[in-house]
Amino acid sequence: MEFDYDLFVIGGGSGGVRAARMAAGYGARVGVAEEFRFGGTCVVRGCVPKKLMVYASAFSELFEDAEGYGWQVGPRSFDWSRFIAAKDAEIARLEAIYARNLDLAGCELHRCRAEVTGPHTVRLASHGHEVRARHILIATGGTPFVPDIPGAHHAITSNEIFDLPHLPARVAVVGGGYIACEFAGILNGLGARVTQLYRGEQILRGFDDDVRGHVAGLMRAKGIDLRTETDVARIDRAEDGLVLTLEDGARLAVDCVLYATGRVPNTAGLGLEKAGVALGPRGEVLVDRWSQTNVPSIFAVGDVTDRLALTPVAIREGAAFARTVFGGEPTAADHSDVPTAVFTQPEIGTVGLTEAEARREAEVEIYRSTFRPMFHTLSGRDERMLMKMVVRKSDRRVLGVHIVGHAAAEMIQLAGVAVKMGATKEDFDRTVAVHPTAAEELVTMRDPVA
């Protein structure tokens, strides 16, 4: 068979773009199809615009905190349209950079949907004909999942929240995962009245239990009406907005309902079944350590594989794929000890095992400290930081670090290096503190609490 491309990538997001550029760098003829906007979820409607929103929303507290430091801050108001326009300009700039970098690397860009028609063939929606590729990479990401309840069509998802025409005054956020918690904080900080509804016992399933409790407490203290063990039965349009009927019969009037109840791999209608590619129960593409599917010419990286849905992980998987297939250097993506952050307010930084996970594997010691960060001594805000370390007793190795507080995301990137290197508690302790900081607590926690 004659091939038009050595590699055809479906999806121009974090994983697809990295794989395409690297493969082209190894000399491969590469085509990339993107049906929406280059840059993908992270750039267009994920990490980047979300973080800009977190910055925007944090000002409301900073204005209050400034008074404790002697500042008089006059009347303030938030202009949603101005913010959205500035955010859109930045996203457009980044999108153009992604497309340009692909172009400069020598990749051929197709701004259209693509579907798989066989182990080596892809149909492009723009001209309807097939292209032939030696290898196909599925990098189509994920998509928000909304449960099928009456009136679900009234709800929006994270896809729409970035483009609302104005800031809703009353919002219900449904879900307890990191995206739900982040948007509850953002909307609350921007001035909306936020009710967060989660059917489980505690938000942020999968994170360390101390972290979950600490963050839930702080979210409530900031005015978010966080209700756990609560679910929505139906959503109806009312004269002045929407009415949610909860499963216990209670009703809640809001202007906007944001569903953040998880994401599913984006494989619907992609033609993978026709090509014989095995999918898992959530529609995820099943792959081995080298991101190869059961069809040898077809690979998949990123959220569509439902491994660890994070941008840097998708990028690493894309790079490992390119190195394996085009660089002659078989490389498995490494999913262990991945540091990550949640941009709640304050934020979470975490790496390694939670206490509960570690206890299932080994005998552990727990070091934990909660304290009022120096910044809040004068601001007067009653907000405490949490730092926690999970240490294996047998060899003193630090298995997990969990931080809640200002700059936790920045701190965990570096703590992650130590954990990845296999640092022991004594390695942390041998490191001299940086004073005065909050991070110094990481090297000064003396006695285990459990």
Please tell me whether residue 57 binds ligand FAD under the rule CB under 6 A. no
Residues of span 128-167 touching ligand FAD by CB under 6 A: 139-141, 158
Please tell me whether residue 24 binds ligand FAD under the rule CB under 6 A. no
Identified binder of ligand FAD from the candidate list 279, 314, 348, 408, rule CB under 6 A: 314
Give least dist CB 71 to ligand FAD, A: 31
Please tell me whether residue 379 binds ligand FAD under the rule CB under 6 A. no
Total residues contacting ligand FAD (rule CB under 6 A)? 35
Please tell me whether residue 261 binds ligand FAD under the rule CB under 6 A. no
Alpha-carbon gap, residue 83 to 168, rounded angstroms: 15
Please state, in angstroms and as integers, the Cα–Cα distance from residue 370 to each residue in 118, 380, 403, following that order.
56, 17, 10
Please tell me whether residue 35 binds ligand FAD under the rule CB under 6 A. yes
Please tell me whether residue 185 binds ligand FAD under the rule CB under 6 A. no
Beta-carbon contacts of residue 265 (< 8 Å; ≥ 6 apart): 140, 141, 142, 282, 283, 284, 285, 303, 304, 305, 306
Nearer to ligand FAD, 33 or 411 (CB): 33
Long-range own/partner contacts, residues 309-314 (CB < 8 A, 24 or more apart): 309/142, 309/263, 310/338, 310/340, 311/14, 311/42, 311/46, 311/47, 312/14, 312/338, 313/338, 314/13, 314/14, 314/15, 314/18, 314/139, 314/141
H helix or E strand, kind and range, residue 96: helix 80-104
Please tell me whether residue 31 binds ligand FAD under the rule CB under 6 A. no
Please tell me whether residue 36 binds ligand FAD under the rule CB under 6 A. yes
Please tell me whether residue 264 binds ligand FAD under the rule CB under 6 A. no
Nearer to ligand FAD, 314 or 445 (CB): 314
- Selected range binding ligand FAD among 9-17, 52-60, 61-69, 284-292, rule: CB under 6 A: 9-17
Considering 135, 166, 214, 435, which one is annotated as catalytic?
435
Identified binder of ligand FAD from the candidate list 22, 24, 114, 155, rule CB under 6 A: 114
Task: Please give the radius of gyration of the chain, using alpha carbons only, rounded to the nearest integer.
Answer: 24
Query: Within a 13 Å sphere around the CA of 323, how many CA atoms are in the beta-carbon half?
Result: 12
> Residue 53, exposed/middle/buried by CB under 10 A (0-12, 13-18, 19+)?
buried
Residue 153 annotated to the active site: no
**Residues forming the site for ligand FAD (CB under 6 A):** 10-16, 33-36, 40-42, 46-47, 50, 113-115, 139-141, 158, 179, 266, 270, 302-304, 309-312, 314
Active-site residue list: 435
